[in-house]
Amino acid sequence: MLRSPWRYLLAPILATSAMTGSVSAEDASPASCAPWLDAAAESLGEGRIAEAVKDFESVVQDPSALPFVRGLALLGLAEAASVEGGTASIAAWERLATETAVPQFFRDEARRRIAEAQRRRQSLPGRDPAAYRAPLPELPVPAVVFHVSLIGDDANNGSEGSPFRTLSRARDAVRALKADRDGALPSGGIHILICGGTYHVEQTFHLTAEDSGTAGAPVVYRSKPGEIPIFRGGTRLTGWKPISDPARRNQLDPAVRDRVLELNLKDHGVTNWGDATDLRRRPELFLDGVPQTLARWPNEGFVKTGEILGTDTFTLWNTIQGCRDGKFRYLEDRPNHWVDEPDVRLYGYWFWDWFEEYQTVASIDAQTRSFKLSPPFSNYGYRQGQRYLAVNLFCEIDAPGEWYLDRRDGKAYWLPTEGVDLATAETVLSVWDAPFIMLDDVEHVLLIGWTFQEGRHDGIHLNGGANCLIAGCTVRQLGGDAIVIKGGLRHGIFGCTMHTLGCGGARVAGGDRAALEPGQHFVENCTVHDISRIKRTYTPAVHLDGCGNRIAHNLFERIPSSAMRIEGNDHLVELNTIRHVVQESDDQGGIDMFGNPLYRGVVIRWNRWSDITGGTHCGAAGIRLDDMISGIVVHGNIFERCGAVLFGGVQIHGGKENLVDGNLFVDCHAGISFSHWGAQRWREAIGRFLAQAKQPPYTTHYPSLAQLEENADVNYISRNLFAGCGHVFLRDDGISKSVLNGVMDRATDPQLVSSAASIREVPQLNRLLIAPIPIAEIGPYEHPWRR
């Protein structure tokens, strides 16, 4: 008897009249492109092994079968052999592993299954979680240890009893030691232990090639065990008082004017007031670590642009009216009060709901109720009915937590939250406007256990070099990105926490796309949340570029736009948890790829995507493959409550040869959505990429590029289970090649997701050949270096 969680499972060859529950005819899994493969899989599911083997073999030998169908047939043969056990199972997997005529993904799965079988023969669990974790360096016992402490002195010798005061002095001590040894470090390397406490940053800590270590003699800058060194780029503000100028005070709402406080920043030595909205120059005010709000209107949400008044007009797609110069009407009365404000800034999604910019107001005309903006104008132009808000307005300090910096006299104004005890609360203004740390062409240097906070710029820049690791660090309350890696080889960001950032988490670029040589950088076991506060789009938790890098075991959440943006080739994104992202922007995904049909070899597997339901006109997807993205593997993911408007859990826009395989879609707006381009648009768009596609190493590394100009919009959909989704496919039009997919009613199965790890144990699912999803391994894991 079928176990209750699966009793609404439908056969992979779906007859619309036989559908059960809430699934409608138009939402059924599309007809199979290989019914003979479905029949073989059904025989396997019903225990008719000999019949299944015969039918799978006939598919393998069929020269007209699509490569991915042949790969599934070989997989079916291996599954059939696994039922009987013994050496036949290994032989069947080895046959698939060496079959070059099927997609690389299936060969990789076979090699994985062989390794699991060999482990079981040794009485070990089949799957080894350690095999999917970054190999971190094992630190040797250091030959020399230097100490840095707030109570130290740079005239000291750096011992525990006589520590240095600054990092630069410790760096110079390492250089001197190397110089005394003809440029070599002693075996075991050097550790610099940084004692806990608050270090005020007044210059970037800069390491260069001469500061490098080696594998056997690394240079390790780490926190002293049990202590946390905090590097702060802000100035603590004390002495807040009621506004002294009655005229200034009377500009505020009567309900709050007695509660708004002022402070002369020059009294605290602050003379660099930055800019109100420029990235990496903007000062921020923090109350006990919580960013305060630059005085704005409206206090929540957005208003819409009125009539566009500029003269440099254009029409897009024959329907969308736009204008390149910034002048438009406002629809509300409130801006009439701003004519005397000295520096009004507007923040808006001026043309598209997926791209926003700050703009400076040149003038406000209360008679015509219009704004005139200062150049440079918005990148895409302006149109009516778009979202925007206003900031940097003294007279709009009317909500708890709002503040304003008057750059004419250097005074800050702030409305504290009621009940805040200014005697004990800490208010800090971010001042430092450069990276905290820069590493240029450095090798084998590790930074472990630091905290960076309250800067206007980025946290750490790592350029070139090799084999450096940033581990167990906290980067927070910055105006830019947390960690930026450009170039180099085999750098890692591990176990870090990145949050409350004006821009994104990590920007990582490595490897050579032209030569398809991997960079082997990784971002693993990190938590990134509450980012993109100042630049709301295109500042994800991880922006990955280049070739052959990896994002794994992370948690990304509470982000207004995408959690990841992937560019380049042969990257691996696995075992991450992504939730509550794309909360404000439109036409984006939890992961986003865009614009290049040669971005191939990317595998996105075993991730958990949940509650990604934002968007305005187009929507939000879990995974969005936009504008020609092709040849991507999406395997073994769990999508829960993903998709909105026009998008499903996976959205494919104009690409082909993407393999969406073995995924679980639960309570999604739609499982998979498509935006087809057609042959003509496809050929026109890929023209500029053809020369590279027809040259090595692309021709040898991606054999399917030989047919790049053919089969527009054809993608491959297999072994997926759709449970309780509003739609299975959106806008497929019968173009994709689909096989071995199932649809079920979600209503009676609250435990569906937790069953994903043992999905193969359900006999009725054997007909789909669905592989278990390692749900227990998804997300961060415990490690001594994880902050």
pLDDT at position 746 is 66
C-alpha closest to that of 615 among 581, 579, 586:
586
Residues 43-55 have a mean pLDDT of 93
**Is the per-residue pLDDT at 49 higher than 80?**
yes
Instruction: Say yes or no to pLDDT of 760 above 50.
Output: yes
Confidence of residue 89 (pLDDT cuts 50, 70, 90): confident
pLDDT at 61: 96
Residue type present at position 384? Q
Count of residues for the chain?
787
Residue range 765-783: average pLDDT?
91
Taking phi over 0 as left and psi of -120 to 50 as alpha, with beta for the rest, 260 belongs to: beta
User: Looking at the whole model, is its pTM more than 0.85?
Assistant: yes
pLDDT of 749 reads: 61
In this model, does residue 10 exceed pLDDT 80? no
DSSP state of 628: T
What Cα–Cα distance (Å) separates residue 364 from each residue in 328, 331, 351, 356, 715?
10, 13, 21, 21, 52
For residues 175-180, give the mean pLDDT: 96
| Per-residue pLDDT band at 1 (split at 50, 70, 90) | very low
Q: Distances from the Cα of 102 to the Cαs of 69, 89, 106, 108, 463, in angstroms?
A: 8, 19, 7, 11, 39
Q: Is the pLDDT of residue 665 over 50?
A: yes
Confidence check: pLDDT of 2 > 70: no
- The pLDDT confidence band at residue 151, using thresholds 50, 70 and 90, is very high
What tokens appear for 321 in the block? 């009216």
Tell me if the bond preceding 30 is cis, omega within 30° of 0. no
pLDDT digits (tens, 9 = 90+) for 601-624: 999 999 999 999 999 999 999 999
Could you report how far apart the first and last alpha carbons of the chain are, in Å?
48
- Residues 91-126 have pLDDT tens digits of 999 999 999 999 999 999 999 999 999 999 999 999
In the predicted model, is pLDDT for residue 295 greater than 90?
yes
d(CA 168, CA 148): 10
Q: Which residue from 526, 533, 527, 524 is spatially nearest to 504, judged by alpha carbons?
A: 533
**502-529 average pLDDT score:** 98
Give the pLDDT band of residue 24 (cuts 50, 70, 90): very low
Query: Helix (H, G, I), strand (E, B), or coil: what is residue 410?
Result: coil
pLDDT band for 747, please (50, 70, 90 cuts).
Answer: low
Confidence of residue 356 (pLDDT cuts 50, 70, 90): very high
Binned at pLDDT 50, 70 and 90, residue 758 comes out as confident
pLDDT at 757 over 90: no
C-alpha dist (Å) from residue 63 to 76, 99, 101, 104, 272: 18, 14, 11, 19, 71
pLDDT for 762 equals 67
- Amino acid (1-letter code) at residue 90: I
The pLDDT assigned to 8 comes to 30
pLDDT digits (tens, 9 = 90+) for 310-319: 999 999 998 9
- Cα 725 from Cα 643, distance rounded (Å): 10
Angle at 637 between CA 632 and CA 640, to 5 degrees: 125
Q: For the chain, how big is the Rg over CA atoms in Å?
A: 29
pLDDT at 289: 97
pLDDT at 16: 26
Which residues are CB-contacts of 424 (< 8 A; sequence separation ≥ 6)? Answer: none
Q: Would you place residue 778 in the very low, low, confident or very high pLDDT band (cuts 50, 70, 90)?
A: very high
Average pLDDT over residues 374-389: 97
Using one digit for the tens of pLDDT, what is the confidence trace for 390-443?
Answer: 999 999 999 999 999 999 999 999 999 999 999 999 999 999 999 999 999 999
- Supply the pLDDT for residue 87: 78
pLDDT beyond 70 at 474: yes
Give every CB contact of residue 84 below 8 A, 6+ residues apart in sequence: 49
Q: Which two three-digit tokens encode residue 707?
A: 């047919």
CA distances to 49, 409, 581, 683, 700 from 688, rounded to whole Å, are 50, 54, 33, 10, 20
Per-residue model confidence as pLDDT tens digits over 683-713: 999 999 999 999 999 999 999 999 999 999 9
Predicted pLDDT at 227:
96
- What is the 3 state secondary structure string of 244-295? CCHHHHCCCCCCCCCCCEEEEHHHHCCCCCCCCCCCCCCCCEEECCEECEEC
Q: Provide the mean pLDDT of the chain.
A: 93
Residue 262 has pLDDT above 50, yes or no: yes
